[in-house]
Amino acid sequence: MTVLDRVLGTPWVYEYIRPLATGGLDYSRAYHRLRCDERSVVLDLGCGTGDALRYLTAFDTYVGIDTDERATRYASTRWAGKKGVRFESRLCTPEDIRELAPTHVAMIGLVHHLDDELAVRTLEMVRKSPRLVRALTLDIVYLPRHPYNNLLARLDRGRYCRDEAGYVALAERAGFRVTERLLEKSHPTWGFVKYSILVLEP
């Protein structure tokens, strides 16, 4: 891990500095598209500091899994006492998918950290949840004639930023149906970068 990776990966930078670089972060429109309700079992892959819980207003169970122990430790403290919520620092496995059987899976800022083969395997693993209703990806994206967007993508810790078609192709290779594909501003009012959002159904 490089010095830059260590700095960018700290929860403080993630929570306070990154929004300054993007003109604010508001993922409410993305999470709204998961359409969770009080019966939903939500798996948040690459959960980071648990930011999803700012936007998810209804669920039965929420499990956040991330390989970054600093982030999950911060998330556990940040959301301590919230009913039905737990965080784990490790890789998600096919056994987790079978046992948890999530109905909704969020992969926010995950796919651009994975090369093509690992991305497809991860998406395939998610698709095999026996109760899956919907999954969601949100990632940095290369866009024509958007130099600042592309600069931030190059500086990101994730090394596998793609254009929108590249993300769609991975989801379809994994057997998903892409029901929505959007390019959304990081913040509806002040955001000056865009993200690729895909709504996926098995």
Instruction: Look at strands 104-108 and 134-140 and give their pairing.
Output: parallel
Q: Quote the tokens at residue 21.
A: 């670089």
**Among all chains, which residue has been given the structure tokens 């590249």?**
166
Q: Tell me, what's the pLDDT at 157?
A: 83
Q: Quote the tokens at residue 84.
A: 């039905």
pLDDT values of the chain reduced to their tens digit, one per residue, 202 residues = 454 444 444 555 556 566 666 766 889 999 999 999 999 999 999 999 999 999 999 999 999 999 999 999 999 999 998 999 999 999 999 999 999 999 999 999 999 999 999 999 999 999 999 999 999 999 999 999 999 999 988 988 889 999 999 999 999 999 999 999 999 998 888 888 999 999 999 9
Q: Tell me, what's the pLDDT at 173?
A: 98
Overall number of domains in the chain: 1
Instruction: Look at strands 134-140 and 177-185 and give their pairing.
Output: unpaired
Q: Quote the tokens at residue 53.
A: 């819980």
Domain hosting 21: range is 3-201
Give CA–CA dist 148/165, Å, rounded. 20
Give CA–CA dist 96/168, Å, rounded. 25
Closest to 141 measured CA to CA, from 190, 74, 94, 194? 194
- CATH of residue 41: 3.40.50.150
Q: Tell me, what's the pLDDT at 3?
A: 45
